[in-house]
């Protein structure tokens, strides 16, 4: 038999997927779903009354060892405690929650360490507090790989970086993409960067397209702004962004060659192994360059690639590249 749930638990943070899954885990620990259904209640602190909440908290469970009571939306958008009587009454009642009740307080947002809510829960013996913050940077890359493993699949480090860049910090979106990508790889091989680019193209290419557009139009200030946006994305570093720029110009060069041969979007998509709407964007950008311009740029990128791998400052190299292409 699983260990009993804490009498009081606080889940807070911006990762709504983690909060949702933590609540599901609690319900699983209570027992069969049909029994949990009649022994669990959820209240929204913005609308609930103290009387109805207190009545449920004090009601003995039926066919389970504990009753699960969840109270959501306890804080405002700015992280302050919701100013309602029911919230104050619940916090005052926390030390008296009976053993047969598992009360879960949900605060979807950031809380300071001296938050009244955290202090009240921490004062309860045996209470559990979980800060379910969004994973960022390297943590997000590891999160993707770990989640893939729990699903029976695998992401290469390159694939995890690509997905982190594509989906930002929205874990629910990322979780859906992981499922889709693992199915695409048939759980028989690691998911690689090109898989992410093929199946999750809209987000992954959004900023790199803007950056290359700015380079093509010689808008140095705009290009620098887009570069900073890319650098701000989780899991990104100057070299990985440089690799994205190199790949983009390689695709532009190949697309321009195909266009000069009279190829249309379907042929370009097939030739470059891209989704049709991505190929259409590539083709649109390629038309802004002559083939000799793209050849010179690509040659320059290869020279910078060698310099960066030889120890040149990566961020300075990127800045120099953008300045040179937009001068």
Residues of each domain in the chain carrying CATH 3.40.50.300: 8-131
Question: Which residues, 6+ apart, have CB-to-CB distance to 312 below 8 Å?
Answer: 304
Instruction: Look at residue 20 and give its three-state secondary structure.
Output: helix
Instruction: Look at residue 43 and give its three-state secondary structure.
Output: strand
User: Is the model's pLDDT at 186 over the cut of 90?
Assistant: yes
CATH number of 201-326: 1.20.272.10
Query: Smallest Cα–Cα separation from 297: which of 269, 264, 267, 326?
Result: 326
Rounded CA separation 183/90 (Å): 45
Structurally, what CATH architecture does the domain formed by 8-131 represent?
3-Layer(aba) Sandwich (3.40)
Higher pLDDT, 193 or 247: 193
Query: Smallest Cα–Cα separation from 314: which of 230, 234, 214, 201?
Result: 230
Which H helix or E strand runs over 9? strand 8-12
Residue 277 is predicted with a pLDDT of 67
Out of 49-53, 81-85, 135-139, 249-253, least confident range? 135-139
In a 13 Å sphere around the CA of 206, the CA atoms on its Cβ side amount to 11
Strands 8-12 and 101-107: what pairing? Answer: parallel
Q: pLDDT (tens digit, 9 = 90+) per residue, 75-114?
A: 986 778 999 999 999 999 999 999 999 999 999 888 988 8
**Count of other CB atoms within 10 angstroms of residue 307:** 14
Residues of each domain in the chain carrying CATH 1.20.272.10: 201-326
Report whether CATH 1.10.8.60 matches the domain 138-199. Answer: yes
Q: pLDDT (tens digit, 9 = 90+) per residue, 199-217?
A: 774 444 556 777 877 877 7
| DSSP 8-state code for residue 227 | H
User: Is the model's pLDDT at 70 over the cut of 50?
Assistant: yes
Mean pLDDT is highest, among 14-18, 136-140, 180-184, 268-272, for: 180-184
In a 13 Å sphere around the CA of 316, the CA atoms on its Cβ side amount to 5
Residues of each domain in the chain carrying CATH 1.10.8.60: 138-199
Q: pLDDT (tens digit, 9 = 90+) per residue, 289-309?
A: 889 888 888 888 888 878 887
User: Is the model's pLDDT at 198 over the cut of 80?
Assistant: no
User: Is the model's pLDDT at 1 over the cut of 60?
Assistant: no
Q: What percentage of the chain has pLDDT greater than the value 70?
A: 94
Q: List b or e across 213-242, with b for residues whose CB sees 16 or more CB atoms inside 10 angstroms.
A: bbbbeeebebbbebbeebeebbbbebebbb
| DSSP 8-state code for residue 112 | -
3-state secondary structure 230-262: HHHCCCCCHHHHHHHHHHHHHHHHHHHHHHHCC
Long-range contacts of 295-299, Cβ-Cβ distance < 8 Å, separation of 24 or more: 295/253, 297/249, 297/325, 298/246, 298/249, 298/250, 298/253
């Amino acid at each position: 038999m699983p260990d009993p749930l804490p009498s009081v638990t606080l889940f807070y943070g911006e990762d709504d997927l983690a909060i949702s899954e933590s609540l599901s885990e609690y319900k699983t620990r209570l027992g069969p779903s049909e029994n949990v259904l009649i022994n669990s209640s959820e209240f929204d602190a913005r609308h609930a009354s103290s009387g109805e909440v207190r009545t449920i908290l004090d009601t003995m469970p039926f066919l389970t060892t504990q009753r699960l009571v969840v109270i959501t939306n306890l804080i405002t958008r700015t992280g302050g405690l919701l100013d309602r009587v029911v919230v104050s009454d619940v916090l005052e009642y926390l030390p008296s929650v009976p053993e047969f009740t598992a009360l879960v307080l949900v605060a979807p947002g950031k809380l300071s360490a001296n938050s009244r809510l955290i202090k009240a829960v921490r004062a309860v013996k045996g209470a559990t507090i979980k800060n379910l913050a969004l994973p960022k940077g390297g943590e997000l890359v590891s999160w993707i790989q770990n989640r893939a493993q729990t699903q029976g699949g695998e992401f290469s480090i390159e694939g995890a970086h690509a997905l982190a860049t594509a989906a930002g910090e929205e874990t629910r979106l990322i979780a859906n993409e992981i499922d889709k990508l693992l199915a695409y790889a048939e759980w028989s091989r690691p998911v690689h960067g090109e898989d992410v680019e093929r199946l999750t193209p809209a987000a992954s290419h959004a900023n790199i397209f803007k950056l290359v557009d700015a380079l093509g139009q010689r808008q140095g200030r705009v290009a620098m702004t887009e570069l900073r946006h890319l650098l701000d994305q989780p899991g990104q570093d100057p070299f990985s962004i440089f690799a994205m720029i190199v790949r983009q110009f390689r695709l532009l060069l190949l697309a321009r060659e195909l266009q000069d041969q009279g190829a249309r979007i379907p042929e370009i998509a097939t030739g470059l192994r891209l989704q049709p709407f991505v190929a259409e964007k590539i083709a649109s950008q390629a038309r802004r360059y002559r083939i000799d311009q793209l050849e010179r740029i690509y040659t320059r990128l290869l020279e910078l690639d060698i310099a960066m791998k030889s120890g040149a400052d990566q961020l300075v190299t990127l800045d120099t590249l953008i300045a040179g292409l937009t001068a």
